[in-house]
Amino acid sequence: MYQAHKQRLSLLSPYQKDTFVALLIMVITAAAQLTLPEIANYYIDGHAPTTLLDPFHLWIMAFIMIFALLSALRFYLFESLGIKVITRFRTSLHKALLNKPSSYFDEINAAELTSRINADTHMLKDVLTTSAALFLRSALIVCGCIIMMLSISYLLSAVLLLLIPIFVYATKLLTNKIESLAEYEQDALAKTNKVAFDNLNCHTLIKLYNWFDSSQHRYEGANKTYMSYAYKTIYSISTFQGFFNLLIYSCLISMLILGSHQIAKGQLSIGELTSFVLYLGMAFTSLNTLSGFWAEWCQSIGATKYLFELESMQPRNASAQPRIISIEDIQFKDVSFAYPNKAQQTVLFELNCKIKKGQKNVIAGPSGSGKSTIAKLLLGYYSPTSGKILVGDNVLDEQGFINLRQQTAYVEQEPLFMSLSILDNLLPEAMGTPSEQQMQKVVQACKQANAHDFIMTLPDGYNTHMGDRGNLLSGGQKQRLAIARALLKEPEMVILDEFTSALDAANRQGIEDALNNLLKNKTVLVISHQQSHIEHADNLITL
């Protein structure tokens, strides 16, 4: 438990100066707030000046204005700190995810994961900064109120101090209950987003097979599960709040009874009792804030446990500059492989083959024989279960795969594109504002890929948005853009994975014509079952 608290608080360490300034302002406002009951006591007992425009009254008004301004500044500082902290944490999470192996993404749902990141980090932001600031401020006020109340009346203060152990015990019970419920609640919420994503992503399938009722039932079921955990969490917190309010008002009535008795005996003035009650109200309000924060904090620990586990397991940085090696003959030596989520199903068994440098290498075989799996192993998306892959005489390790990927272009049957413009998909490093030289390279690559003409017929040309996964373009158009993207990379090796199998004859010929510019003087790996590709192979690998 201690480690979980320390882990979350460590997010503030890069912003120590910002945190110190915000805490300093918070201490000043807390101290200022503690003087307000004393000011009330001063006026009620008739010690204040009698003239309306006395400088004392003006000083009090100035004090109140400064207090209000500092309170606003405190809120702004903590909110801005929260934005900085969580933005940095989200960036770190995103980096960790980008460097995850492909096997990780086979086992998770992207919609569920992004939902967890957005919802859980937002919760953490509020708890770690704004709520934490209120917690510290409330703790200072409680301590200050106790000291001030003791200075007014030991008898009244003793009654209050008897209630503190009860409050601490109840808070401990709440902590244990909420932390476990929060993790289940966030998991259930992420599941509802997953179901919604699946339903919306497959809306055409639902319409085709009339799956409206079953799809809606799945979503309603996921929501019911979430609601059951959410209700349990709310029930635990509300039960504690009810018990806490019982303590507050029982104590307040007891204070008034004892206080009026002391006033009757001349042991306490009306102003002092008023001041004491104000301090008592401040103390209880602050205690309520403390309990509320602790419930939120424990809830956030359960909810964000998954994210911290994810962020702490960062693999080697795949964007690091690799050592440059030239591509030689590539050899698969006794390579066996099974996908991690299907460990009992062997896809490749003791494969031995050679991809020859500068030649057109074709991998042929029936569907399911592992043709595309070879490409995934070659690019380092997965690691062989046994055996090794060599470039020349060098066994490919993690750094070797990084280097190989940076010298390889991959054109697949259904090219992947981001929901960006054509230009941003071809040249993401330009961030939408390419230099004149960069734009010339993009246009040249598109002309070589026979893509420039159709791009210029689009409403916004190269700035045309491609839609989700490029779905606003046809299959042939996406293939041409994939070839243009490969040309821009200027690779030493090109992998073509069933790149024309989904196209008609006219489109297929246009794509193959465009590829002539890409494949000159390159090591080529073609994955295909088409006879025309097999016949023109320099090196045929049959599975």
The answer to whether residue 486 is domain-embedded is: yes
pTM greater than 0.75 (yes/no): no
pLDDT of residue 303: 64
The answer to whether residue 305 is domain-embedded is: yes
pLDDT in tens, 469-498: 777 888 888 888 888 888 888 888 888 887
Statement to judge: residues 78 and 217 lie in one domain:
no
The answer to whether residue 47 is domain-embedded is: yes
Statement to judge: residues 358 and 336 lie in one domain:
yes
499-505: list long-range contacts, CB under 8 Å, 24+ apart.
499/411, 499/412, 499/413, 499/528, 500/530, 501/413, 501/528, 501/529, 501/530, 502/413, 502/414, 502/475, 503/475, 503/476, 503/479
- Name beta bridge partners: 335: 351
Statement to judge: residues 187 and 68 lie in one domain:
no
Statement to judge: residues 232 and 370 lie in one domain:
no
Q: What is the domain-level CATH number for residue 408?
A: 3.40.50.300
pLDDT of residue 318: 46
pLDDT of residue 319: 47
The answer to whether residue 414 is domain-embedded is: yes
CB atoms within 10 A of CB 477: 18
Statement to judge: residues 165 and 292 lie in one domain:
no
Statement to judge: residues 126 and 7 lie in one domain:
yes
Q: What is the total count of domains within the chain? A: 3
Which range of residues forms the domain containing residue 453? 330-542
Statement to judge: residues 484 and 336 lie in one domain:
yes
The answer to whether residue 275 is domain-embedded is: no
Statement to judge: residues 294 and 213 lie in one domain:
no
pLDDT of residue 412: 83
Statement to judge: residues 334 and 411 lie in one domain:
yes
Measured CA to CA, the distance from residue 206 to residue 464 in angstroms comes to: 30
pLDDT of residue 113: 76
Statement to judge: residues 74 and 146 lie in one domain:
yes
The DSSP-derived string for 475-531 is: HHHHHHHHHHHHHHH--SEEEEESTTTTS-HHHHHHHHHHHHHHSTT-EEEEE---H
- In terms of Cβ atoms closer than 10 Å to its own Cβ (0-12, 13-18, 19+), residue 308 is buried
The answer to whether residue 16 is domain-embedded is: yes
pLDDT tens string, the chain, 543 residues long: the values are 567 667 777 788 888 888 889 889 888 888 888 887 877 777 777 777 777 777 888 888 888 899 889 888 988 888 888 888 888 888 888 777 777 777 777 777 776 677 777 777 777 777 777 777 778 888 888 888 888 888 888 888 877 777 777 767 776 676 666 666 777 777 787 778 778 777 777 776 676 567 778 788 888 888 888 888 888 878 877 777 777 777 777 777 877 888 888 888 888 888 888 888 888 888 877 877 776 777 677 667 766 777 777 776 655 544 444 444 577 889 999 999 988 877 778 888 888 989 998 888 998 888 888 888 898 898 888 889 899 998 888 888 888 888 888 888 888 878 888 888 888 888 888 877 888 888 999 898 888 888 888 899 988 888 888 887 777 888 888 888 888 888 888 888 888 887 766 556 666 676 677 677 667 788 889 888 777 778 788 888 888
The answer to whether residue 277 is domain-embedded is: no
Q: What angle do CA 294, 238, 174 make, to 5 degrees?
A: 40
Q: What is the domain-level CATH number for residue 308?
A: 1.20.1560.10
Q: What angle do CA 409, 414, 420 make, to 5 degrees?
A: 80
Statement to judge: residues 158 and 49 lie in one domain:
no
Statement to judge: residues 54 and 126 lie in one domain:
yes
